[in-house]
Amino acid sequence: MTMPRPWWQTGVVYQIYPRSFADADGDGIGDLAGIRRHLDHLVWLGVDALWLSPFYRSPMRDFGYDVADHCDVDPLFGSLADAERLIDDAHARGLRVLIDFVPNHTSDQHPWFQESRADRTNPRRAWYVWRDPRPDGGPPNNWRAAFSDVPAWTLDPRTGQYYLHCFLPEQPDLDWSHPPVVQAMHDVLRFWLARYVDGFRIDVAHLIGKDPALADVPAPVAGLPQVVLNDRPETHALLRALRSLVDGYPGDRMTVGEIYLLETERVASYYGRDDELHLAFNFPPLYAPWTADAWRQQLASAAATLDPKGAWPTWVLSNHDNKRHRTRYGGDERRARAAAVLLLTMRGTPFLFQGEELGLEDAHVDAAARRDPGGRDGARAPMPWERAAPHGWTGAQPWLPFPPDAAAGSVEQLQSDPTSILHLYRRLLGLRRALPALHAGAQVPLAAPDGVVAFERSEGSSRVAVFVNYTEEPITLRHTPGTLLASSVTIHETTPSFAGVLAPYEAVVVHLAT
């Protein structure tokens, strides 16, 4: 008998970026009460869990990824009581809740850093990474920060030392080699586990262990930020400790780590021997172009590197850090629909980003409206709920402009059209939940013509095939096996047999006879 798989393997996670999801208090910035009002959208859609990007107290230099208090909610988003209500309301609807845990750095306004920078003898000095300047007065090593190509070190004139920050200068890195830091961050996890969160998305999880020597990185890669280079043995021990803490709580709690190392093989190492991360984001597919060759390779590389370790894959096409996939794939809705079929039928846990079920494209954000130091505003545009402007955002103008065609892409409009991409997502999520072959089964590649990716999913006697036409031409498949469960072009509620011809950019799910 096989053990049933945990929810975080069979389920689908929906990422909410709280600033841009829904605004209940009318200040133009989304909030926790806004999320609570729209939980029924997620239930109707058919996802299993939501992941909330940070809602903690923060000066918002990196929109919440600069945390000033890990155990309180920023007043912009509500209160701790609102967070507890949101968790309860989600659970009451059968939705799991993941929250963002940001371990690598804090805000420079966090009391820990304020004390740390006060003077060299402060007991919190060792909580962050402080070093003397080089003899020439320059930064201690050649590491670069993310977002802009500047040194990952800032000189604090008051104490004459540099501090490390792999992101903005307002995001100093914690020193995880200092045991009190580990204890304090474990306490943060305990605080939220006691409030019944189902798990954590761990921000840049691979970054917390650092080279103790803080050595220069080799010259040829010196222009890359440290966040895409840091791959250290120290991190694995730290993650094992996090894992055993989380596993000590009842109810299938879990972690999914952001591993910004752009090789699936490296990502795989962060699952450990099933004693580090439960799941790790694998970003190479997110950066792959929309071509059959590229995707065949991505599927093969996930199978070759993760399967032998028993590591369960994850799939992400869009998130708050990258252009939306519809935009990356050239804007054509047919490609976004085919991508939905692919994302929701591959073996592994899919992560959806709010608004991808609407087929949203990035907003055009002109220079004057830009807010993010990392240039990621376009994907973070507000969700259009209603057809009529301001699309369910009452009160003040939302903090960013809406995506293009917000009326046509609104939840209200797309719900009223049974052929819309929104209904396609819902149908696919329903199929995935209903069929063990899709949510739990094995996956093997199938032979297919050029321009098509095909694979079979199976569990017991249930067998499903998926065909994705990446080209602008119709393609005839060699065999025409079985009944059609879903198509990205026509959303079939019945189950006609599949004629064996894929329309341009069509993806289909076919039930194979046993």
Hunting for tokens 């966090």 — which residue is that? 110
What would the x/- binding string for ligand GLC be over residues 5 to 34, using CB under 6 A? ------------------------------
Could you tell me which residues come within 8 angstroms of residue 437 by beta carbon, excluding any fewer than 6 positions away? 457, 458, 459, 462, 463, 464
d(CA 192, CA 188): 7
239: tokens are 């993650």
Complex with ligand GLC: residue 372 or 456, whichever CB lies closer:
372
Complex with ligand GLC: residue 281 or 385, whichever CB lies closer:
281
* Minimum distance from residue 53 beta carbon to ligand GLC (Å): 8
287: tokens are 């950066």
Q: Judging by DSSP bridges, how do beta strands 314-316 and 475-476 pair with one another? A: unpaired
Cβ pair 454, 489 in contact under 8 A = no
55: tokens are 């809602």
Does the footprint of ligand GLC cover residue 321 (CB under 6 A)? yes
* Minimum distance from residue 244 beta carbon to ligand GLC (Å): 24
Applying CB under 6 A, among 23, 31, 48, 62 the residue interacting with ligand GLC is 62
What would the x/- binding string for ligand GLC be over residues 208 to 247, using CB under 6 A? ----------------------------------------
d(CA 389, CA 370): 21
Among candidate residues 34, 9, 32, the one with its CA nearest the CA of residue 23: 34
Largest CA distance in the chain: 75
Partners of 57 in the β-ladder: 69
What would the x/- binding string for ligand GLC be over residues 186 to 205, using CB under 6 A? -----------------xx-
Give the footprint of ligand GLC on residues 324-383 (CB under 6 A): 374
Exposure of 141 in the CB half-sphere (CA atoms within 13 A): 24
Annotated catalytic residue 203: yes
Complex with ligand GLC: residue 101 or 329, whichever CB lies closer:
101
Complex with ligand GLC: residue 145 or 466, whichever CB lies closer:
145
* Minimum distance from residue 167 beta carbon to ligand GLC (Å): 5
387: tokens are 């057809």
- What separation in angstroms does the CA of 86 have from each of 37, 39, 275? 9, 9, 30
Does the footprint of ligand GLC cover residue 167 (CB under 6 A)? yes
* Minimum distance from residue 400 beta carbon to ligand GLC (Å): 15
- Among candidate residues 48, 100, 258, 356, the one labeled active-site is 258
Cβ pair 98, 198 in contact under 8 A = yes
For the CA atoms of 269, 9, 300, 447, the dihedral, rounded to the nearest 10 degrees, stands at: 170
Does the footprint of ligand GLC cover residue 99 (CB under 6 A)? no
* Minimum distance from residue 104 beta carbon to ligand GLC (Å): 7
Cβ pair 489, 337 in contact under 8 A = yes
* Minimum distance from residue 293 beta carbon to ligand GLC (Å): 28
Does the footprint of ligand GLC cover residue 101 (CB under 6 A)? no
Residue number of the CB closest to ligand GLC reads 65
- Among candidate residues 31, 62, 66, 203, the one labeled active-site is 203
Cβ pair 279, 255 in contact under 8 A = yes
Applying CB under 6 A, among 55, 65, 290, 385 the residue interacting with ligand GLC is 65
Does the footprint of ligand GLC cover residue 109 (CB under 6 A)? no
- What separation in angstroms does the CA of 420 have from each of 277, 378, 407, 408? 36, 23, 13, 10
Annotated catalytic residue 493: no
Applying CB under 6 A, among 102, 182, 406, 438 the residue interacting with ligand GLC is 102
The residues carrying an active-site annotation are 203, 258
Would you tell me which residues interact with ligand GLC (CB under 6 A)?
62, 65, 102, 167, 203-204, 258, 320-321, 374
